[in-house]
Structure 1
Amino acid sequence: MANTNLVRILDGNTFVVCEDTGDIEATPTEPTGMFANDTRFLSTWVLTVNGERLNALSYDDLQYYEARFFLVPGTASHYTDAKLSVIRERVVGGSFREQLTVLNHDERPVDLEIRVDAAADFADLFQVKDEILNKKGESYTEAEADRLRLGYRRGNFNRETVITSSEPARFDARGFAYTVRLEPNEQWTSRIDVDTLVLGPGGRPVPMGARVHGTGQISLQQDLQEWLANAPKVNCEWETLARTYRRSLVDLAALRFGPISVPGAIPAAGLPWFMTMFGRDSILTCLQTLPFTPELSRTTLRVLATLQGSRFDDFREEDPGRILHEMRYGETAAFEEQPHSPYYGSVDATPLFVVLLDEYERWSGDAALVRELERECRAALRWIDDYADLAGNGYVWYERRNTETGLDNQCWKDSWDSISYRDGRLPGFPRATCEVQGYAYDAKVRAARLAREFWDDPAYADQLEREAAELKERFNREWWVADGEYYAIALEPDGRQVDSLTSNIGHLLWSGIVTDERAPKIAEHLVGPRLFSGWGVRTLAEGDARYNPIGYHNGTIWPFDNSFIAWGLRRYGFAEEAATIADGIIAASGYFDGRLPEAFGGYQRELTKFPVEYPTACSPQAWSTGTPLLLIRTMLGIEPHEGHLSVEPRLPVGMGRIEVLDIPGRWGRVDAFARGRLELEHHPD
């Protein structure tokens, strides 16, 4: 979103994007408006006083769920001392509530016509994203004495926006108005409620998701206070890190939403396009945040297990045992104009599901959940062996079966040109990417532990360990690019190596599939000049044909990617390299007010002097908010070990003291402390 004055307010899967005046004037293809469940329930919301638009003096997005706008009549270029001011206080909590206050500063009474123009185009978020608004149903408007009802109906798909006011208003087809007389120094206030309804047969409301807290402002405040109070406290001398940690916790709270099937909350992927459940994104976010917000992992695992694939469906790319990629609730999904109901076109979510289950138990000691999800975990492992091996050679491959709307690339770098040879050529299909083989290896190693310790099946554990060892040996033989001394990003079915140098090799360290003798060379590449910019590790190395510092997956820096790379470096003992990456990413966060974006430019740090944000990056985005938390874990070397928490800190030079208090887990709550080495020339802030 190019307009930097846009204000974002969100709570779960409901969000509002508006101008700095509070007004909404959405074009069919612009992500402004009020959205819930992948549908735009307000596309117009414009306030006028005596027919005149208002000018913003200032606005304050107080919390993620509320904002306040201070306005006066007139335009910014012709401002005179105003005799009238207007305050709009807005709260989003599953619905939309606005308190409108008008103050008369004149010495004389004033007569005012206060009007709000309101409309809803009920655009599907996919239609907005794809810049194609093709509504096939019927819109309707019902202006009643005490409310305005805006609706859209297409078959059984029925959505309504209902607007009511605490003060008497005149409702019409285009909005509502008040006639107000204000005496000198008098003020007038009205509360306006905007409710979103999903209607089933017979016009009965259908629940689309449980609230993780109440909808009132006080309840939202209490919930945020409790969320922050339950998380570990981070005190440190590096102010940027302290600010970023708090901002991340608040953004994670904002991105929570509650599914119907399981109590609790899971993280939505990101604003504006991905305010819904994503298998890969939700799992990786849970892995990042596990030491700080473990409750997200339990709910995410149970929800994904509930929706695990159970049949063969080419449209949705579903297989038995496969973990979903994305779930949508809008019109295009309801009428199968796109397959996200849910869509299963991801090859990494399934092994990562097993990885998260094991990691969650190591932290929490929740053996009951491991036993509860044994069937789903075994089904995920069968999917790896039976359905993902499209080439019959023991690797995980992908090739889309839905040729109309499915994803070409079904790994985390899912843009069309993200997998390429170093000379820029694109490989054929099916494709196998390197990091997914690492995830599959890790899933088998971890599942072996679960089978031996919780499922009472040592034979299965032995089998999984043999398969993992064979995969590691074969992978290191067939994926190693000898003339570059790194792992290929992908293989073609005939065994040809797709030989570009990418950040994916860092995920291989995290998974443990790299042999000890090759790990030093991988670490050298990750912090070398072709991949490391000074802010972070680029997705594609400088010098490869498709390298572009602002190419979505071809040269940008993704904070989440870097957090797992740093974690992998620590696993193999490269603490200095991990600290270098953590230092760059956290320093970059200071230029984004503590909120790391989805991605930023891969330009050399010495060239730009500040990180350049990718133009359409999601913000906030779940796995970017989780990045500082995983980096803290990595820098302090916090790991569960035989039922206890071990701490082995290696901080960036000059970082100073850091303490993490009340880390939750099977050990209760414990503290971790560390102090970085001093260097007078290093000034992180």
Structure 2
Amino acid sequence: DKPGAIILLDVNTTTPLTIVPGFMPVMQPQWPAGIGGQYSYWDDDVKAYVISESQQRGLFLCGSPVAQQMAAPPAHMFADNPIQFKIDIKPREAKNNFIPIVIAGSPVNTKYDSVKVLYNNLLGNIETLYKKNCEYYENLRNSTVEVITPDEKLNLAFEYGKVALNNLMVNNSTLGNGLVAGYGLSGGGGRPGFAWFFGGDAFINSLAMNSYGDYSTVRSALEFTQKWQRQDDFPIRKKSRDEKNIDVGKMSHELSQSDGLIDWWNDYHYGYNHADTSPWYLAAMGDYFRKTGDVEFIKKSWKSIVQAYNWSKSKDSNGDGLMDLKGAGLGVLEFGALVKIFNDNYTQSLWTQGIKEVNLMAKYTGDKEIEKETEILFPKAQQALEKIFWIDDLGFYSFGAAEDGKQVRDKNIYSSASILFGLMNNGRSVSTIEKFNESDMVTDWGVRNLSNKSSMYEPTNYNYGTIWPFTSYFIGAAQFYAHFNLQGLETVRKTAQHAFDYGLGIVPEVFSGDINTKLGEAYHDQGFSVSGYVFPMIRGLIGLEVDALNNKITFSPKIPADWKFLKVHNVNVGGAIVNLDLANENGRMELLAKKISGRNIQIEFSPDLPLGTESNSMHVNGQLVKPEMIHHKQAEQLKIILDLEEESSVVLMYKPSVSVFLQDHSTPIGDTNEGLKIISQNLDGKKLTVHCEGKPNKDYELGIMNYELVKSISGAELKDGKLIVNIPGTGNDFLKHEIAVEVR
């Protein structure tokens, strides 16, 4: 909570040592603001360089109490080379002490003496500040959902992800406290990329943060975005009294942190250039409301919510119930052949979800008019989605359609947004996900935004062929929604692996579609890239949904057959804290639900089991019960509802079946797409067929559970408890393949 940074050097040396820290000062505010007249000098009183500009609107200090000045910098400009100081270290001193380097900054127009006080304050309280930081992140971990799985790397990625998302909160002394989109170097051009306040990114990330219960941060972020919602004469001023503003209620897309030094809203045209930000706001507000039951905040925000709803609704130019991009702004794409397409599946799905959320919130605010209107509008919009986007001969939902109804026939990952929210026909959703599981979309480090069979495909094109970890948010959650659980886990794992390649918990913005490497233009630390694995992990793989309005937890784990346990702790539902412990031995699954504090709640326990699994019995707290059995194309599911007062147990005894699972492996940076792709499975009587794709004459390994039940196999060899798959053929392209397993 201070504008400063402390670096502690832990030095181990047996001889005298000199360390020379150096840095290139960039005394510039964020683009598009700029200042001249920068200078630097050494202040020997604090053993630090002072960096400022002629009007001293901003300045910072960088130094160390044991530093010595080296060459003096130019008096009225910055040097072309790094500014350096030296630290002489004796072995005995190094053994018992850290060597501090301190950086102290300032809000705009802070006097030098105040920054000097801050510098000395940081220096004099290093241990206190260190402990305070540790306590902060320990509290973040202990007050939000904790997930423990057999996959230790995934557990760690999740914890690092929580830290990365929480670190997006920035308190700008001029603008307030909100979520920025990420962090990275501005480079020579000066534009920081995403260290700005982006409305859409805040809403996207809020759903991931809600998933693990960081509700206070989400509320602060949502409140911040409301400050910049378009009003009749604010923040963009009218050019004349008679000018008509048709964008009242539109949510801001982006805000430079230099607003205050410049007139961002009136002198630049970027603030409101996206259409999808406003329906995202509605979806985010509704999600927060369901997770928290915070009626007070929704009532306080109702005018803002209705304004965003009315603005979005006004962009329905043909009366089909869907907002379109005509006159509304950009959708998910920002350039190229499909930019500003009339019907954008992504934006229109968000709008349809927004209608549903507004209907829910209207019931609690008492707005009967909006409640009735949205009850009529929601099914109308849903029907329009089906009519506009389903491509019958191809068997998947289209990305978009022109005003005359002509559909985009290339596979595009953003179609999965409608499936994630459960808006589409179930059978068609399954068909779409099955098509998206193929190797033209799926790689070993994520999912392409566009099929590599498309004529528009270019592996380094920002919108037409690259891999954004962000899109795993949609396709990963959609895969789990449609019970493609093997594929959903692969999407989560392949995205989460990036959190260890570029800095712990840091996931870059965009990767090549052909090689596992981030692009040169990729923003280094992108928040919604982290959400790309956190969101589907919690809501899909773990299957955790909190409904504070109804005092209910839904726990629908979709874990692989080889996982023997799953622990989900610190689940907050309306102030009640609950721990969920799942044990899964072959033939026996047990859930132990324990209320740690708070009121009594209800739990819906609805785990997925492999195809062909049969339930023998289920006991809740020792009493025999009969669960609801649901057969899906890719999994079997059981469902039971129980009341939790203090502690409850559910014991399921089942007849196991043969099931396969993918072996986890990380993909090194620089690798190409080589891994086996599981497209789908189907069970016909005693025959389990696994549809997959792989490269010819390459040995792939598949895990298999209960292989002793195998009667015969074709398309693979059972060896040492594993399936070895070798696909015959020539060339280096992926080939379709089937593995057929006859079960005893």
What is the TM-score with the length of structure 2 in the denominator?
0.64
Find 2:477's aligned residue among 563, 567, 583.
Answer: 567
- Judged with a 3 Å threshold, the aligned counterparts in structure 2 of structure 1 residues 137 and 258 are, in CA distance, closer, same or farther, namely closer
Letter in 2 for 1:306: K
1:411 is matched with: 331
TM-superposed deviation, 1:594? 6.2
1:286 aligns with 2:206: yes
Instruction: Output aligned runs, 1:208-219, within 5 Å.
Output: 216-219=129-132
Tell me if structure 2 keeps the 8 A contact 1:441–1:468.
yes
Look at both structures and tell me which one has the larger radius of gyration over its CA atoms.
Answer: 2
SS in 2 for 1:308: coil
Report how far residue 612 of structure 1 moved: 3.8
Q: Deviations over 1:31-84 (max 9, x none)?
A: xxxxxxxxxxxxxxxxxxxxxxxxxxxxxxxxxxxxxxxxxxxxxxxxxxxxxx
**Separation in 2 of the partners of 1:429 and 1:291?**
31
Cross-structure match for 2:614: none
Establish whether residue 600 from structure 1 lines up as the match of residue 511 from structure 2. Answer: yes
Q: Secondary structure at the match of 1:626?
A: helix
Question: Which range moves more in the overlay, 248-257 or 167-176?
Answer: 167-176
**SS of the residue 1:137 aligns to:** coil
Q: Which residue of 2 aligns with 1:297?
A: 218
CA contact (8 A) 2:178 2:225 kept: no
Deviation at 1:634, TM superposition (A): 0.9
Give the match for residue 447 of structure 1: 358
1:378 is aligned to: 306
Aligned partners of 1:104 and 1:570: how far apart in 2?
53
Aligned partner of 1:396: which letter?
A: M
SS at match of 2:456: coil
Say which SS state the counterpart of residue 334 (structure 1) adopts.
Answer: coil
Matches within 5 A, 1:166-205: 166-167=65-66, 172-173=72-73, 191-200=100-109
Distance 1:615 1:192, change over 3 A: closer
Q: Distance in 2 between matches of 1:634 and 1:522?
A: 17
Contact 1:580–1:652 (Cα < 8 Å) also in 2:
no
The 3-state SS of whatever aligns with 1:624 is helix
Cα contact 1:510–1:568 (8 A) shared by 2: yes
Cα distance in 2 for partners of 1:435, 1:237 equals 35
Work out the CA distance in 2 between the residues paired with 1:662 and 1:290: 13
Q: Aligned residue for 1:622?
A: 527
Tell me the alpha carbon deviations over residues 467-509 of structure 1, each in whole angstroms, 9 at most, x when there is no partner: 1222222232233334433333233344433333200111011
Task: Tell me, yes or no, if the aligned pair for 1:104 and 1:186 is still in contact at 8 Å.
Answer: no
Residue 338 of structure 1 and its aligned partner are, at CA, apart by 9.6
Aligned to 2:146: 233
CA distance in 2, matches of 1:362, 1:512: 16
State, as a whole percentage, how many aligned pairs show the same letter: 17
Provide the residue aligned with 1:486 in structure 2: 396
Aligned twin of 2:600: none
1:525 to 1:340, Cα distance in 2 relative to 1, 3 A:
farther
Cα distance in 1, alignment partners of residues 173 and 389 from structure 2: 43
SS of equivalent residue, structure 1 residue 345:
coil
SS of the residue 2:546 aligns to: strand
Compared CA separation, residues 141 and 522, structure 1 to 2 (3 A): same
Structure-1 residue corresponding to 2:544: 638
Please name the residue that 2:288 is paired with.
Answer: 360
Asked if 1:660 corresponds to 2:555, the answer is no
Query: Do 2:28 and 2:35's aligned partners in 1 also have CA atoms closer than 8 Å?
Result: no
Q: 1:683 aligns with which of 663, 674, 693?
A: 663
SS at match of 2:137: helix
Match of 2:422 in 1: 512
Partner of 2:344: 433
**Aligned partners of 2:21 and 2:103: how far apart in 1?**
12
Alpha-carbon distance change, 319 to 243 in structure 1, aligned in 2, over 3 angstroms:
same
The SS at the match of 2:53 is strand
| Amino acid corresponding to residue 539 of structure 2 in structure 1 | R
Partner of 1:623: helix, strand, or coil? helix
1:95 paired with 2:95, answer no
Shift of 1:322: 1.3
Cα-to-partner distance string for 1:601-624 (whole Å, 9 max, x where unaligned): 434xxxx7xx44444433432122
Distance in structure 2 (CA, Å) of the matches to 1:186 and 1:201: 36
Q: Secondary structure at the match of 1:567?
A: helix
Q: Contact between 1:326 and 1:340, CA under 8 Å: does it hold in 2?
A: no
Counterpart AA for 2:231:
S
CA deviation vs aligned residue, 1:491-550 (integer Å, no higher than 9, x gap): 334443333320011101123332345323222222233323355432001211121334
Structure 2 match to 1:245: 158
C-alpha separation between the residues in 1 aligned to 2:401 and 2:443?
A: 27
Distance 1:264 1:645, change over 3 A: farther
Greater shift in the superposed pair: 317-326 or 295-304: 317-326
Tell me the residue number matched to 2:377: 467
Name the SS of the counterpart of 1:162 in structure 2: strand
Aligned to 1:139: 38
Aligned CA distance change for structure 1 residues 191 and 310 (closer, same or farther; 3 Å): same
Distance in 2 (alpha carbons) for counterparts of 1:319 and 1:329: 23
Tell me, what secondary structure is at the counterpart of 1:512? coil
How far residue 646 of structure 1 moved from its aligned partner, in angstroms, is: 1.4
- Residue 253 (structure 2) aligned to one of 325, 330, 347: 325
Kindly tell me: are residues 290 and 596 of structure 1, through their superposed partners in 2, closer, same or farther at Cα, counting changes over 3 Å?
same
How far apart are the structure 2 equivalents of 1:546 and 1:116?
48
- Residue 258 of structure 1 is matched in structure 2 by 171
Q: How far apart, CA to CA, are the structure 2 residues paired with 1:145 and 1:583?
A: 51
SS in 2 for 1:541: coil
Q: Does the aligned pair in 2 maintain the 1:479–1:488 contact within 8 Å?
A: yes
* Equivalent residues of 1:96, 1:195 under 8 A apart: yes
Q: Which has the higher contact order (CA 8 A, sep 6+)?
A: 1
Shift of 1:381: 0.3
Instruction: Summarize the Cα distance change of 1:280–1:315 in structure 2 as closer, same or farther, 3 Å threshold.
Output: farther
The AA in structure 1 aligned to 2:149 is C
Aligned residue pair count = 551
SS in 1 for 2:578: strand
Q: 1:164, CA displacement in angstroms?
A: 5.6
Q: 1:428 offset after TM fit, Å?
A: 7.2
Matched, 1:311 2:232: yes
Q: Residue in 1 aligned with 2:709?
A: none
Q: Secondary structure at the match of 1:651?
A: coil
**Is the Cα contact below 8 Å between 2:397 and 2:415 reproduced in 1?**
yes
Say whether the 8 Å CA contact 1:444–1:464 is kept in structure 2: yes
State how far apart, in whole Å, the 2-side matches of 1:192 and 1:588 are: 30
What residue identity is the alignment partner of 1:620? D
SS in 2 for 1:159: coil
The alignment partner of 2:167 has SS state of helix
Judged with a 3 Å threshold, the aligned counterparts in structure 2 of structure 1 residues 291 and 533 are, in CA distance, closer, same or farther, namely: same
Between the aligned partners of 1:364 and 1:138, the Cα distance in structure 2 is: 50
Distance in 1, Cα, partners of 2:50 & 2:445 = 50
Runs of 5+ consecutive residues of structure 2 not aligned to the other structure: 75-82, 116-124, 186-192, 240-244, 585-608, 611-657, 666-744
Q: Is the 8 A contact 1:169 1:176 kept in 2?
A: no
Distance in 1 (CA, whole Å) between partners of 2:489 and 2:407 is: 31
Q: 1:146 to 1:650 in 2, by over 3 A?
A: same
What is the one-letter code of the residue matched to 1:560?
Answer: F
Report how far residue 627 of structure 1 moved.
Answer: 3.2
Deviations 1:339-361 (A, max 9, x none): 67981222122111111111112
**Preserved CA contact (<8 Å) 1:654 1:683:** no
